[in-house]
């Protein structure tokens, strides 16, 4: 049963004083739109979101922009994205009127490879360096420069074992994270796309279901049940930016944010 927004008892918190247990209890049973609205009213202008502009990114962008027009959308440009990803981002910017905030590494891909080689083809230490340069440091910088107090993320529990243990509202490295579609199934995602006639990433039609950097993304077989089977960076299937610091270096399978 969905909660009314009146029942959620919104009280805008200062950094660090939100009662997570109470917040998650209040949001139990709330639908995705209610959760986004709760986050907007709770965190105000300090609410941001991330997007990889990947296979299913139109869903969260549509959902969030309907409730919070002009929410800052953090787009990490690693320098290794598919051309279609940049084109898709521009198409969605125009369609939804998005406020996209692009953050890139402080060192270009060409310079990285000249100095360090192809880190993404290396051992776990190389992969840790790759993630730090291209994802973790730009993400920390984005949250700092945007003075983010909370972050909307489109993670779903069934995607990875780590995500299956998340709550709707969590704290990661001093930033609140809100997961509006955490309990959604694949069918829920398909139904939402159909209801609003949303576009997939152009490569989705070619078998790419989870789309990240060109060197770590491959198509998957039609009968493959794991959408993230096409991600080929590191030992696990979780992106470092979605993990607490101690786990970030140990779980380097790139995700779609």
Q: Report, as residue numbers or ranges, the catalytic residues.
A: 239
CB atoms < 10 A from the CB of 222, how many?
6
Interatomic CA distance for residues 181 and 183, integer angstroms: 6
Distance CA 182, CA 189 (A): 11
Tokens of 238: 């979780």
- Environment class of 142 (CB within 10 Å of its CB; exposed 0-12, middle 13-18, buried 19+): buried
Number of Cβ atoms within 10 Å of the Cβ of 136: 20
Residue 251 zone, left/alpha/beta (φ > 0; ψ -120 to 50; rest): beta
> Within 13 Å of residue 6, how many CA atoms lie on the same side as its CB?
0
Instruction: Give whole-number Cα distances, 50 to 40, 178, 220, 225, 253, in Å.
Output: 15, 11, 25, 25, 18
Q: How far apart are CA 119 and CA 222, in angstroms?
A: 30
């Amino acid at each position: 049963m969905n909660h009314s927004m009146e029942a959620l008892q919104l009280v805008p918190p200062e950094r660090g004083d939100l009662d997570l247990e109470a917040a998650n209890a209040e949001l139990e049973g709330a639908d995705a739109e209610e959760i986004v609205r709760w986050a907007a009213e709770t965190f105000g202008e300090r609410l941001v979101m991330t997007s990889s502009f990947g296979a299913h990114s139109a869903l969260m962008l549509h959902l969030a922009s309907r409730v919070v027009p002009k929410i800052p959308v953090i787009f990490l440009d690693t320098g290794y994205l598919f051309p279609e990803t940049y084109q898709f981002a521009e198409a969605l910017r125009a369609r939804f009127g998005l406020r996209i905030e692009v953050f890139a590494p402080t060192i270009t891909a060409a310079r990285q490879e000249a100095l360090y080689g192809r880190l993404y083809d290396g051992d776990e230490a190389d992969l840790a360096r790759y993630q730090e340069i291209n994802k973790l440091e730009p993400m920390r910088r984005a949250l700092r420069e945007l003075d983010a107090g909370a972050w909307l993320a489109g993670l779903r529990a069934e995607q990875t074992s780590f995500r299956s243990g998340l709550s709707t509202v969590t704290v990661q490295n001093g930033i609140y994270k809100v997961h509006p579609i955490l309990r959604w199934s694949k069918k829920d995602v398909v139904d939402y796309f159909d209801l609003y006639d949303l576009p997939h990433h152009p490569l989705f039609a070619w078998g790419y279901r989870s789309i990240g950097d060109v060197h770590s993304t491959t198509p998957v077989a039609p009968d493959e049940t794991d959408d993230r089977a096409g991600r080929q960076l590191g030992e696990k299937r979780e992106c470092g930016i979605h993990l607490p610091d101690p786990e970030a270096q140990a779980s380097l399978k790139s995700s779609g944010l």
